[in-house]
Chain A
Amino acid sequence: MKRFLYYPRLYTLIVSQYIKARMQYRADFFISSIGILLESGAGFFSLWVIFHSISKLVGWSYNELIFIYAFSLLAITPSQLFFDNIWHLSSHIRQGTFIKYYFRPLNMMFYYMSEVFDIKGFTKLALGIAAFIYASFKLGITWTFPKFILLLTLLFSSSLIMISLMIMASSTCFWTGEASSVLIFVFKFGEYSKYPITIFNSFFKLLFTYIIPIGFVAFYPSKFFLRPTETNILAYLSPVAGILLFVLAYLVWKKGVNSWTGTGS
C-alpha cells in the first residue's frame, strides 16, 4: 500500500518542479497555446467548410462528426499531457543522457515520462470539452450516470491505445537512433481517427480496425452514444484492445531499454 501511494506522490513532486521551470517562459507558453488552439481548431474549420457543400458524409451529419472529432481530441490529449517526453527520446538516446534513468530505484518508464508534463495540452483539452458539450447538446444526447461512466471508461481505453502506439513508435529509436519520422507517422494516425471508418473500402477498414487500431480511438466508441442501436460487438472490445496494446507497448519499451548499449560517454 505504501508503495502504491509512493508513485502518485512522487509524480506530483516531479511535475510541480517541472511546471515551475516552464513558467520562466510565459510568453512561449502563451503563444504555444494559441498555436495548439489553431492546430486543433483547423479540423473543425475543415468540417465547417466541407459541410457548406454537402449535408451528410456517408450518412453522418455535421454534428455527429463534430462529436467524433471532439472524442478523438479528448482521447489524444492524455498522450500529450503525460507522455510528451516521448518526443525527446531520440535525442536522449543519441546524446547518451538516457543513461541517468537506469540509475534510479524507480520504474524507468514512469520516471522518464514523469519528467515532462505538457501544460500546453490543456488548450486541446479545453477545446475538446467545449466541442464535445456543443455536439452532444446539438444532438440532444441525454447524459445519465451509467452513460457517463461508460464515456470515461471508453475515453480511458482510447487514450491508452494512442499512448501505446506512440510508445512503440518512439521505442524504435533504441535500435535505430532516430524515431521522429515514425512518431510523426503514428501521430498522424491519431489525427485520422476523427473520420468515420466507413469511408474506407474493406481492405483499409480491416487495416484500421485490426492492424493499426485507430478505429478504436474515436469512431467505434463514439457509436455507443451516437447510434446505440448500430453498435457491433467490436465496440465492446475497445477497453480490451487498449489494455492489450499497452502491455505490448510496455514489453517493446522494456526490450528496447535492455538492448540499448549507451554511447560510451
Chain B
Amino acid sequence: MKKYLMIIRNSFMSSIIYRFHFFFTSLSNVFYIIIIYFLWRAIYKGSGGSINGMTFNQTFIYLALAISIFCLFKTWTDWGMSYQIINGIIVMNLIKPMDIQLLEMCNAIGFVFYNFITVTLPALFIIIFIFQPGVITVSNLMLFLLPMVLAFFISFNIDYIIGLTSFYTESIWGISIAKDTIVLLLSGALIPINFFPEILRKIVGFLPFQAIYHIPLTILISKDMSIYEYLKFLGIQLSWAIALYALNRFYYSRAIKVVTVNGG
C-alpha cells in the first residue's frame, strides 16, 4: 500500500514544478466559464425563465462544474502510456512488483490533486462568489462526493482503455482527441443532456459517459432527490465502474502479449 501512496505523491510533486503553466491553465478555465456564462445568458434571454426544465442558474452551474470536472479528471493517462510505449520506458513499469493498472491509477490520482488545486478550486471560488448562483446546498455537496469518486474511477478506466490501445497502435493522438470529444459531448458536459432530442437522450442513457458528469451534477443541482433515485444513480455508476474494470483486466491480458519494446 505504501508504495502506491508514494506513486501518488511523486506524480503530484512532479506536476507542481511548472508554476507558469499552473497560472495559465487556471486562467483558461476561468475564461471558459465566463464564455459559457454569457453564451447561456443569451440563450435564456428570450425564454421565460426555464428551458427543458432547467433554470439559467442550474444550467450554468451544471456546465461550469462539468468543465471543471473535465479538467479535474484530465490526467493524461492515455498520453503517458503511449509515450512510454514509443520510448520503451514502459519496461521500467512492467518489471516493478506492482499492478500496472493500479500504478497508472495512482499516477492519475496524484494528477487529480494537482488539478484540484490549479483548476477546480479557483473555478469553484469564481462560480460561488462572483456568479452567486445559489442552488448548491451543503447536504447536496455531501451527497455529491461519493458519485464523484465513482466518476473518477469510470473516467480513469476509459482513459486506460485508450492507453492500452497504444500497445497495438503506438501513437494514439487521433484516438485520444476523438475520445475527448465523444466523452464531452455524450456526457452532457458541453450541453446538458436535458437539452438533447428525445431519441438521443435514450441512446446516451445506455453509454458510460453520462455516469461521469451527468449523474454527479444532477445530484448536485436537484432540489429534492429521493433516496431511491440517489441509490439508482449510484447503482448505474457502480455497474459501469465494474464493467469497465473487468473489460480492462481482459484487455490487458491480451494487449500485454503483443507489446513490442524497442530498446529501452
Contact = CB atoms under 8 A, between A and B. Distances in A.
A185 B24 contact: yes
A15 interface: no
Given A31-B174, A39-B181, A54-B43, A46 B191 contact: yes
Interface in A1-60: 25, 27-28, 30-36, 38-39, 42, 45-46, 49-50, 52-58
A28 B173 contact: yes
A34 B31 CA distance: 28
A192 interface: yes
B263 interface: no
Contact of B35 (A30, A181, A182, A195): A195
Interface residues of B, number: 42
A178 interface: yes
Interface in B134-189: 169, 171, 173-178, 180-182, 184-185
Contacts of A28: 169, 171, 173-174
A78 B39 CA distance: 27
Contact of B38 (A38, A178, A204): A204
A58 B42 contact: yes
Nearest to B176: A35
Contacts of A34: 174, 178
Given A34-B178, A49-B197, A57 B43 contact: yes
B173 A178 contact: no
A50 B195 contact: yes
Nearest to B22: A181
Given A31-B175, A35-B176, A199-B41, A181 B195 contact: no
Interface of A: 25, 27-28, 30-36, 38-39, 42, 45-46, 49-50, 52-58, 176, 178, 180-182, 184-185, 188-189, 192, 195, 199-201, 204
Interface of B: 18, 20-25, 27-28, 31-32, 34-35, 38-39, 41-43, 45-47, 51-52, 169, 171, 173-178, 180-182, 184-185, 190-191, 195-197, 200
Top 3 A-B pairs, shortest CB-CB distance: A32-B174, A31-B174, A35-B177
Given A38-B182, A181-B22, 7 more contacts: A36-B174, A39-B180, A42-B181, A42-B185, A42-B190, A181-B24, A204-B38
